Structure 1
Amino acid sequence: MRLYAAVAVSGFRRYATYRAATAAGVFTNTVFGFIVAYTFKALWSERPHLGGYDQAQALTFVWVSQSLLAVGALMGGGFQEEFQERVRSGDIAVDLYRPADLQLWWLASDLGRAAFQLLGRGVVPLAVGALAFELALPASPLTWLAFLLSVFLGTVVGFGVRYLAGLCAFWLLDGTGVNVLCGLLGVFLTGMLLPLNVFPGALGEIARALPWSAMLQVPVDVVLGRHHGAGLVRALGFQAAWAAVLLLAGRAVQAVAARKVVVQGG
């Protein structure tokens, strides 16, 4: 485990070197947060308690979402492009011969990236939002701890989805289409643009049952205190179950791919 801990630290330090990109990301998240926040204020003024949120909770949803946007790599910036390029170039063969588990290696690296993004691009937009608007942030440290656990599980779920997308490169000449599809699904099914609780009828039930809801919708609802007691256990269990399913699916697909590595270039 010390190896994977070192890989996670390396992932953290790697992203910490891109200071200009981090500053630009903080600025973008903050500006986009203001745009969405004022849109939500207008919407909730016309439809109070839409989706079961009051206006303060809706605004909190906006700013917590912005703080988690880079953490979950919901609009790109994750590892899958690099992974796909290593498959295309044939460098993945070196990775497969390493005395380390391929999936755990990339998971550790992605967790290090996510930890930096939470600190580097998550704290400032949320703080700015809290100063500019009346937010419904929790006062209990236990709620914040549950939130961090939920963010961790959501990050693992996101990794599981993106790892499967990365493995598609073993069979596809170009992973761009898969990455675009993942990005679109991330935009609409995580709750990034609009809380999934607002989705009507069967559409909302299906969206909340899919793994994308575990990446953003569940962590935000946890910090809003909508899950507590047995409900909190169920919410975290939902995330953990999807994380396990996706990681196992990734291992199964990886095993098939490793038996017949097709080098698409190099």
Structure 2
Amino acid sequence: MRVLLAVFACGLRRYSTYRVATLSSIVVNGVFGAVNAMVLLAVFDARPRINGYTAEDAVTQVFLAQSLIGITAIFGPPLDLGGRIRDGQVAMDLLRPVGFVRWWLAQDLGRAAFALLSRTAPTFAVGLALFDLALPADPLRWAALAAAVALAVLVGFGLRYLYALAGFWLMDTRGVNAVAWLAGPFCSGMVLPLVLFPDPVAAVLRTLPWAALVQVPAEILLGRTVLPGGAAGGLAYQAVWAALLLALGAALTARATRRVVVQGG
């Protein structure tokens, strides 16, 4: 445990060095959030309620989504694991006396912890300053949101870990990451709330793990969870996907490390 805490601290310290990049990310998230919010306000001006969502609900989801970009890393950065597989340094990683998945998870949680403090809170504050957001008065809903955000981080890590593991077979994961960074925002409710999609499309997107990154936390915040069981059902959905992705990552790691190939050797 002490080793994992040290890895967590290293991950936090590493990303805290990029202060200018962090500041620029807040500006970009705030600007794109404002643009997206104004587009949705125009849509809801023509139709005040869509599948139970109001304009205020949609704008709130926009800024929650922008706030979650940093901690879920839905647009990246990819795990360094992909590059280490490509250049052969993964062979040294496998010698560490710590579980492979746990090592990378601890490092990524350090990154997410820094992003929570440096990007998530300031970006959401921008939304509060510019728009009227639908914020709950019930502290239990805020507690449920905190749990949903934590599970979203685990799901985000599980997905990115699988993208990186593809390097054991493909040798280069840049193509996988490029496709994932296109599909993830679309399928998660980050670009548009899933309630704005046609019902058959939204139903399919809700079965995919990306919905656990944005749509489910947003619905928990808004008190509009469509899954059975309300907020508890949403959290259970996230927990199941997190467990499945981590279990799949562990199983593929066990298989992949039996066939480590160092490029050029």
Q: CA deviation at 1:9?
A: 2.0
8 Å contact from structure 1 (residues 88, 265) kept in 2: no
Match of 2:43 in 1: 43
Worse-matched range after superposition: 44-53 or 148-157:
44-53
Match of 2:106 in 1: 108
Decide which of 72, 87, 90 is 1:89's aligned counterpart: 87
Worse-matched range after superposition: 97-106 or 125-134:
125-134
Q: Distance in 2 between matches of 1:202 and 1:33?
A: 27
CA RMSD of aligned residues (A): 1.5
For 1:7, the aligned partner's letter is: V
Per-residue CA distance 1:226-245 (angstroms, 9 max, x = gap): 24993111111100101111
8 Å contact from structure 2 (residues 26, 119) kept in 1: yes
8 Å contact from structure 1 (residues 90, 265) kept in 2: no
Q: CA deviation at 1:143?
A: 1.6
8 Å contact from structure 1 (residues 103, 251) kept in 2: yes
8 Å contact from structure 1 (residues 78, 110) kept in 2: no
8 Å contact from structure 1 (residues 157, 246) kept in 2: yes
8 Å contact from structure 2 (residues 87, 262) kept in 1: yes
Q: Distance in 2 between matches of 1:5 and 1:178?
A: 30
8 Å contact from structure 2 (residues 78, 164) kept in 1: no
Aligned length: 264
Decide which of 125, 137, 140 is 1:139's aligned counterpart: 137
8 Å contact from structure 1 (residues 74, 187) kept in 2: yes
Match of 2:252 in 1: 253
Per-residue CA distance 1:89-108 (angstroms, 9 max, x = gap): 11101111110011011111
Worse-matched range after superposition: 222-231 or 176-185:
222-231
* Structure 1 segment 36-75 matched on structure 2, within 5 A: 36-75=36-75
Q: Distance in 2 between matches of 1:223 and 1:110?
A: 25
For 2:16, the aligned partner's letter is: A
Q: Distance in 2 between matches of 1:156 and 1:128?
A: 26
Instruction: Give yes or no for the alignment of 1:225 onto 2:255.
Output: no
Q: Distance in 1 between matches of 2:124 and 2:166?
A: 35
For 2:42, the aligned partner's letter is: A
Q: Distance in 2 between matches of 1:132 and 1:37?
A: 10
Per-residue CA distance 1:35-60 (angstroms, 9 max, x = gap): 11110110111122123211111110
Q: CA deviation at 1:15?
A: 0.8
Q: CA deviation at 1:173?
A: 2.9
Q: CA deviation at 1:129?
A: 1.1
8 Å contact from structure 1 (residues 88, 169) kept in 2: yes
Match of 2:194 in 1: 196
For 1:262, the aligned partner's letter is: V
8 Å contact from structure 1 (residues 70, 117) kept in 2: yes
Change in CA separation of 1:48 and 1:10 when aligned onto 2, cut-off 3 Å: same
Match of 1:10 in 2: 10
For 1:47, the aligned partner's letter is: R
TM-score by length of 1: 0.95
TM-score by length of 2: 0.95
For 2:23, the aligned partner's letter is: A
SS of corresponding position for 1:174: coil
For 1:55, the aligned partner's letter is: A
For 2:36, the aligned partner's letter is: V
